[in-house]
Amino acid sequence: MDRKESDVYLRLDPARLPKHIAIIMDGNGRWARRRHLPRVAGHRAGVAAVRSTVETAARIGIPALTLYAFSEENWKKRPRSEVDFLMRLLCRYLKAEIKTLNENNIRLEYIGRKQELPESVQQEMEYASDATRNNTGMVLTLALNYSARSEIVDAFRSLAEAASRNGGLSHFQVDEQSISEHLYTRHLPDPDLVIRTSGEMRLSNFLLWQLAYSEIYVTQTLWPDFRGVQLLESIEEYQSRERRYGGLGRDPGHDRDHAKGRAVDAKT
């Protein structure tokens, strides 16, 4: 950890670290444009940000980190050459990173319709996840060809199939728990914190079910400039928030208003 990172780290409460952080990595194209470089140069630079973020998260003991790498929409709406470049970059990352992932005890997982990705990419993905399968530290989940709506559709299909295997529609059980158990993220708790880089205020079809109660942190930093220190800053901000889950929280003003409300109720 460098000086700046350890300054922020010392301000964190280690007992209240988020158990799962999800990141929408955005701004690679803008980063490149500001430097008069092709868009793909931004993606290439984004790999250094991935490395730094993953290592910092693992080192401070975050149990789960999920990175939104490519959405289902990315395939349809970007030039073929950019998509091919992203595929090659991903394969290179997976090959090069196995050693570091193992050294940091990180297990690699994926979410998304991976069966639609090129065969060679799927093989590389499987190889990398197999090679890290026995690690017991942080779970790093890459969202690849991911769409939250498709995930929910797939969860319902999977529920229906489970019911038909079980004896038919009368066994079709739908509640929050059964849906959660059929999502791609069944291996993960819901994110406590979702980070979006480059200032956009959107969820972009990312983990729509799972982010129901997550704290949202948006930074102007473009993804290629994001590093471990920015991750620590986002956690510091997260720790300053009060999570209410629909309740009233600790603000004494709330208690006063609440008591006043009761007094009025009693009078009327």
Interacting residue ranges for ligand FPP, rule: CB under 6 A: 25-30, 43, 46-47, 50, 67, 69-70, 74, 89-90, 93, 142, 223
Strands (E), 57-201: 64-71, 107-111, 139-146, 193-196
- Tokens representing residue 200 in the block: 């956009």
User: Shortest approach of ligand FPP to residue 138 CB, angstroms?
Assistant: 15
Q: Is 74 a catalytic residue?
A: yes
- Tokens representing residue 189 in the block: 């708790």
Q: Residue 19 — φ and ψ, nearest 5°?
A: -85, -25
Cβ proximity to ligand FPP, 93 vs 217, nearer residue:
93
User: Shortest approach of ligand FPP to residue 26 CB, angstroms?
Assistant: 5
Return the residue matching tokens 């997976």: 94
Cβ proximity to ligand FPP, 122 vs 158, nearer residue:
122
Cβ proximity to ligand FPP, 20 vs 39, nearer residue:
39
User: Shortest approach of ligand FPP to residue 9 CB, angstroms?
Assistant: 24
User: Shortest approach of ligand FPP to residue 22 CB, angstroms?
Assistant: 13
The alpha-carbon radius of gyration of the chain (Å, integer) is 21
Cβ proximity to ligand FPP, 155 vs 194, nearer residue:
194
Catalytic residue among 2, 7, 74, 154: 74
User: Shortest approach of ligand FPP to residue 87 CB, angstroms?
Assistant: 10
Beta bridge partner(s), residue 142: 67, 110
How is 112-151 classified by DSSP, letter by letter? S-GGGS-HHHHHHHHHHHHHTTT--SPEEEEEEEE-HHHH
Cβ proximity to ligand FPP, 46 vs 112, nearer residue:
46
Q: How far apart are CA 71 and CA 35, in angstroms?
A: 25
Return the residue matching tokens 């009233």: 248
Beta bridge partner(s), residue 67: 23, 142
Q: How far apart are CA 128 and CA 83, in angstroms?
A: 21
Q: Residue 29 — φ and ψ, nearest 5°?
A: -65, -45
Taking a C-beta distance cutoff of 8 angstroms, is the pair 114, 150 a contact? no
Q: Residue 70 — φ and ψ, nearest 5°?
A: -140, 130
Q: Is 190 a catalytic residue?
A: no
**Which residues are identified as catalytic?**
26, 74
